[in-house]
Chains A and B, each alone.
Chain A
Amino acid sequence: MKVHIKHWHAIAQWRWDIGKNDDDDDGEGDVCGICRVPFEGCCPSCKMPGDDCPLIWGECTHVFHMHCLLQWIGTAASKQQCPMDRRPWVTAERKVDAGNPR
């Protein structure tokens, strides 16, 4: 017997690739430490998740919604530090929007 696939309509979810293997997590998933909204949701300023509300990776490996982090970095109290470890924030080049055609 041979099984040929003619047409396959499937359903998938997209996840941010934050370097974790999360094959069967059914919970909310990881949340942004600042707004506490899941990464795959959107930050309080956005309406559309995903490419419109991207993540930002620090060299310290910490990840936030980009909009949340930029808002924090914009305050004087932040002293430009990562909210997680208080190390000076340096955005990791590797991940930001690479390959996104827009």
Chain B
Amino acid sequence: MATDSLRIYTSAKWQKAFERLNGAEPGIQGLLSFSEAWQIASNFLYPRDINDPGSLKSQDMQRVRAAFDLVGKSRMLSMLLDKFLEDMRRQQYLVERDVHRYMAEYESAGKAEAIMQLIFRLVAWYNAWKPINELGPTILSAYTLAFQTHIFSIFPPSFSRGFKQLIASTFDLVSASSPPPWAIPRDLPPTEQPPRPDYMLWMSCETLGLLERYESLISSVCYEHIEAHVHETCAKKWDEPMLPKLRDWMTEKIVPWMIMPYARGARSADEARAMLQGVGSRFDYHVCKTLCDLRIQEIFDIIIDYPDSQSALQDLKVASSRPGLDDINVIVDRVRRRLQECLQRVDQRSQLVITLRKANKKRLLHPGADTKVILAQYVSIIRCLRIIDPPGVLLYKVADPIRKYLRGRADTIRCIVASLVGDGESGDSLVDENEPIQPLQQMQADDYTDPNWEPEPIDAGPDFRTNKPSDVISTLVSIYDSKDLFVKELQVLLTQRLLAVKDGNYERERRNIEILKIRFGEAALQVCEVMLRDMTDSRRIDQHVQAQKPMPLHPTIISKHFWPPLQTNSFTMPGQFREIQESYAREYHLFKPDKKLHWLSHLGTIKLEIELQDRTISEEVPPLEASIVELFSQKDTWTVDQLVTEFKSVEKTAILKALTTWVDLGVLKEEESDRYKLLEVAEAVPSRSKAPARSAPVVEETTHTLSAQQQQAEQMKVFWKFIEGMLTNLGTLPLARIQAMLKFAPGYDRTIEQLAEFMEAARREGLVQVKDGMWKLCR
């Protein structure tokens, strides 16, 4: 049904096509020469099997070029390309065969060299099939794309593993003196030496487009390499700064390596630098982060090691501050090390807090840990975290659970106070000798006029209070809301020390008090001042009394209300002891007619010489022991019950203990149960042999004072009266008001939390009720 017009149209089309191929040649001459040129060109391009030596292209390049020229002129190049790509597809099995062969080799031996060989082989295929450059970049890139797409599609999954392994080996390769045989293609002419040992590897990879395709894999290889190096060189190495060393390593090892994968095309050093900038700072950042993570994992032990581990802390401080926008110069030129503090890495800071809190909870804050140890570690934590984070935000977050825990420990105050006054054996490890003694510091509000003021770090919580780098003691004392408890405990400790002083030398205590006055303020230590003055006065009085009438008795005369409550199970001393006491008291009264003495007979020590028929025994004993032996000098046999009657207020166990002392010394003997007899003549069988060796002195350091915490419990009973009274007067009160009122009560030093607990207990007992936070008495 071809119409005329259609016929004409077809014929015109055909004529046009014919003319394109035939050109201006006569007849079909043009068509024939085109056909020949097409034949030559497509034959030249045909992807051959490089395993077949006979298929090598030994063509007359002049003819080939002419043929391409003609095809080009006939605008048939695209058809030629299509045919070429189609031929490639048909020949692909050749390449695939090789890929399988090399990959099988890799999978059986696991060596990255097989991958290298595969890559070289693929490059050989690529080069063999590559069209000549004269065909122009379009055809070349279409070819390259098709080739790469193809090989990527046939790589088995194990290829990326192998490739990663190969890239990992380049870190060693780059520093090799010459490339190992596996790193250069077999067909490389011996005259052609690559400029670097890893040069051929990288260039081949680039030829195949592997660098682009596996870009993230390559950088992850570098990340892993960095991590391995950091862990290997820095783990548990805290005594020197590692970050500078790591940066040196980056400069010497990683930067040279980076040139090939990241700055191959650079034509000048500046250009290379520019190309390396982004990736370089990522790697430097990774060095910092890895070191940071490592140190954070180690932080608890680093703190234990402090101050030997100072360098590790410095590293952590620097490394945890993001290098931020610092360019590659940091690494390449080792010039700039100024870090931008304001870009502190918040995530790692919080990781540090979490890790340290966890470690503290697991390793420190448990019943098995000694309070002294906890305090020492807390002090180290304070010092360490100050190095990392001077504003103290990290410390604030880490310290909180420690402080809460310490608050719940019964002997915390005692331990702190002991270290304050340098408790002989435990040493004053908590207090740094070099730290200046300064008044206790309160948490301060920000002083914005301070030129050194800096805003709080962004991870500071709303409850964070700037804790100006105050001294460790202030920080410890601030575990408790009031310093009164410390003063009380101090008083208890001072009492023990002063009452034990026998040689009149309490200079150390005086010096301690002078130091503590600076810390706690003079008013708080007024009581201690009185105690010290009592010591001085006692000595002066004793000198006077001894001048009037020499006596073996040398009392410390104390001012009742200025010493902590002393246990008052006193007793009347027998015989010569009482006489001496009375004699001394008389002399005292003559000297100070307004005053008289009240003996605390159960306190103090007495050095005795006991003269028996066959021996003399010298011993220093407590007053009760002395009194008992005195009784035996009056009558040589006593029953325990008789003694109990004699001493009235003294407990039977104390009397038994005193008797045992003399039995151990061979002075007394238990004749029958609860009946003791004086041994004027030592028994043949020394009773000592059956008694355990008495290494401990008779005079033990018994605490005659109630600890501050015992006193506290007593006081709470008193405070209930106050609370009852104020609720009667004022009806209902919120907790804060009750707390405010109790502050008036002498000696009240509870926190509002403690008060809340107390009130809650009172509520359970049905004494008070609470509604909407208002407390009232139950009627």
Contact = CB atoms under 8 A, between A and B. Distances in A.
Is any CB of A less than 8 Å from a CB of B in the complex?
yes
Interface of A: 1-17, 22-24, 26, 28-29, 38, 40-41, 47-51, 54-55, 95, 97-100
Nearest to A99: B593
Contacts of A28: 561
B678 interface: yes
Nearest to B498: A11
A55 B592 CA distance: 13
Contact of A100 (B557, B589, B592, B610): B592
Contacts of A1: 610-612, 629, 632-633, 636, 678, 680
B599 A5 contact: no
25 contacts: A4-B609, A5-B553, A6-B607, A6-B618, A7-B502, A7-B552, A8-B607, A9-B606, A10-B599, A11-B555, A11-B558, A11-B604, A13-B560, A13-B597, A16-B594, A17-B596, A38-B560, A41-B561, A41-B562, A47-B529, A49-B559, A49-B561, A95-B594, A100-B592, A100-B594
Interface in B552-599: 552-562, 566, 568, 570, 576-577, 580-581, 589-599
A2 B611 contact: yes
A61 to B, nearest CB: 15
A8 B620 CA distance: 9
A45 B592 CA distance: 23
A85 to B, nearest CB: 22
B630 interface: yes
Contact of A14 (B533, B557, B570): B557
B766 to A, nearest CB: 31
Interface residues of B, number: 58
A8 B559 contact: no
Closest 10 CB pairs of A and B: A11-B603, A6-B607, A10-B604, A10-B555, A2-B611, A4-B609, A7-B607, A99-B593, A5-B552, A41-B561
Interface of B: 499, 502, 526, 529-530, 533, 537, 552-562, 566, 568, 570, 576-577, 580-581, 589-601, 603-612, 618, 623, 626, 629-630, 632-633, 636, 678, 680
Contacts of B626: 3, 5
Contacts of A7: 502, 552, 554, 606-607
Given A3-B633, A11-B556, A15-B560, A98 B593 contact: yes
B611 A4 contact: yes
A100 B552 CA distance: 25
A5 B609 CA distance: 6
A55 B594 contact: yes
Nearest to B667: A1
Nearest to A50: B559
Given A16-B595, A50-B559, A100-B592, A9 B605 contact: yes
A32 B594 CA distance: 16
For B502, B594, B604, the residue with the greatest tally of chain A CB atoms inside 10 Å of its CB is B594
B554 A8 contact: yes
A100 B594 CA distance: 9
Given A8-B552, A10-B556, A14-B598, 14 more contacts: A2-B611, A3-B629, A5-B553, A7-B606, A8-B577, A9-B606, A10-B623, A12-B558, A13-B557, A14-B559, A14-B592, A15-B597, A16-B596, A49-B562
B561 A12 contact: no
A23 to B, nearest CB: 7
For B502, B593, B612, B678, the residue with the greatest tally of chain A CB atoms inside 10 Å of its CB is B593
A59 B292 CA distance: 83
Nearest to A26: B568
A40 B609 CA distance: 37
B547 to A, nearest CB: 13
Contacts of A13: 557-560, 597-598, 600
Contacts of A100: 592-594
B595 A14 contact: yes
A16 B561 CA distance: 13
Nearest to B501: A9
Nearest to A38: B561
Contact of B598 (A8, A15, A55, A98): A15
Given A3-B576, A5-B552, A7-B554, A12 B562 contact: no
B679 to A, nearest CB: 9
Contacts of B598: 12-15, 22-23
Given A1-B678, A5-B580, A41-B561, A11 B608 contact: no
A99 to B, nearest CB: 4
